[in-house]
Amino acid sequence: ASFRTIINAKDGIIVGWYKYGPRYSGARRNPPVYTLPRLKNWHDISFLAWKDQVERRGKPMRGLRYIFSAPIANDQTRSIALHAMFPDGSVDEIEDACPMMLVWRNRRTFLHGTDEFKALLGSPNGRGAALILITHKGAFGPKTRISSVSLF
């Protein structure tokens, strides 16, 4: 597994920079490794890193405001992102969209409840944000929710 996560407890930010779990990484080893550790998911490991950082800095556990996931490398999330950004089909290859998508002012924000929001949050890159809140409700509060998903 290879997880590179950046924690900014002061501003309430978690960045999942690279999220290659043991199932993905193990299958690509020679010989392949299929025995997985119990603590294997990015959302659980990132929660522990978040907890450590907020405790060290005296910040509230419930101070999490933003979760970023980058880069988008897997085909499923790339396809969902492309469809969300260009629903008219004007761009059909993610590489063609990159010059437009990689600029903050060109970001698209999808609000809670929209089809794009649901698809992006359910994607391989998006679900970690949901799972960190779902599996650690006691720490973040039962009413904490994700209000929007932005692509850029």
What's the CA gap between 22 and 9, in Å, rounded?
26
Q: Which of 17, 54, 50, 76 is nearest to 132 (CA)?
A: 50
Tell me how many domains the chain contains.
1
Question: In terms of residue numbers, what domain contains 56?
Answer: 2-151
Residue 92: its pLDDT value, please? Answer: 62
What would you report as the CA-atom Rg of the chain, rounded to the nearest whole angstrom? Answer: 16
Please state, rounded to an integer, the average pLDDT across all residues of the chain.
Answer: 90
* pLDDT tens for each residue of 47-103: 999 999 999 999 999 999 999 998 888 889 988 988 898 888 776 666 666 655 666
pLDDT at 14: 98
Question: What is the band of 135 on the pLDDT scale with cuts at 50, 70, 90?
Answer: very high
Whether residue 45 is predicted with pLDDT greater than 60 in this model: the reply is yes
Dihedral (C-alpha) 127, 4, 73, 132: value to the nearest 10 degrees? Answer: 0
Q: What is the distance between the alpha carbons of residues 71 and 152, in angstroms, rounded to a whole number?
A: 11
Q: How many CB atoms sit inside 10 A of residue 89's CB?
A: 8
- pTM here? 0.86
For the chain, what percentages of helix, strand and coil (3-state, to nearest 5) are there?
Answer: 45, 20, 40
